[in-house]
Amino acid sequence: MAITINGQEHALPDDPRVTLLDLLRGDAGLTGTKKGCDHGQCGACTVLVNGMRINSCLALAVTHDGDEVTTIEGLGSPTEPGVMQSAFLAHDGFQCGYCTPGQICSATAMLEEIKAGWPSDATEDLEGAPEITGEEIRERMSGNLCRCGAYTNIVAAIREAAGEDA
């Protein structure tokens, strides 16, 4: 049983109680993914699994045999940040930074969900493709809490990464 994390294969733990979050931060040594509440409430642990965002604190690692996981480390590096990472830097989309990896992973997948035409609770026209408005972003990012309250700049960063006017 194995899982692929940022393109590298890792063995899954023998203990079925280990969460994906603890596997990432422990055995895999990828501490970019943060543990906030450990109860699916804050979004700090958000990673991409096969391109979709999930709360890794609520996922048991052994249930992801064969899956591909992307963490914040897989979206870019300090010298070569990805598009969303650069936008967060440009717009000061953080203060303490604790929620930021989860915000960036979540926003990355969220834009793909909009491109795929998935509606949200804020989508008024269910026939057309959702527009990337501030309201859509706030609704779709509502699972990612920021104790520092950097929300205004987070929305501006996401709009820039999406190619919209910030």
Contacts of 46 (CB under 8 A, 6+ apart): 33, 53, 54, 55, 56, 101, 102, 103, 105, 106, 143, 144
Report the Cα 53 to chain-centroid distance in Å.
Answer: 6
Cβ nearer to ligand FES, comparing 43 with 130: 43
Instruction: Report the distance separating Cα 164 and Cα 99, nearest Å.
Output: 23
Member of 3, 30, 57, 141 binding ligand FES (CB under 6 A): 57
Q: Residue type at 7?
A: G
Cβ nearer to ligand FES, comparing 6 with 95: 95
Rule CB under 6 A: is residue 120 a binding residue for ligand FES?
A: no
Rule CB under 6 A: is residue 147 a binding residue for ligand FES?
A: yes
Rg of the chain on CA atoms, in Å: 16
Cβ nearer to ligand FES, comparing 57 with 132: 57
Rule CB under 6 A: is residue 71 a binding residue for ligand FES?
A: no
Cβ nearer to ligand FES, comparing 55 with 123: 55
Phi-psi category of residue 57: left, alpha or beta, with phi > 0 → left and psi -120 to 50 → alpha? alpha
Member of 141, 150, 156, 157 binding ligand FES (CB under 6 A): 150
Instruction: Report the distance separating Cα 104 and Cα 91, nearest Å.
Output: 13
* 84-103 binders of ligand FES (CB under 6 A): 94-100
- Nearest CA to 43 out of 32, 52, 51, 54 is that of 54
Cβ nearer to ligand FES, comparing 68 with 98: 98
Minimum Å gap between C-beta 86 and ligand FES is 17
Looking at 31-39, 66-74, 83-91, 157-165, which segment touches ligand FES (CB under 6 A)?
31-39
Give the binding site for ligand FES (CB under 6 A): 35-38, 40-45, 55, 57, 94-100, 146-148, 150
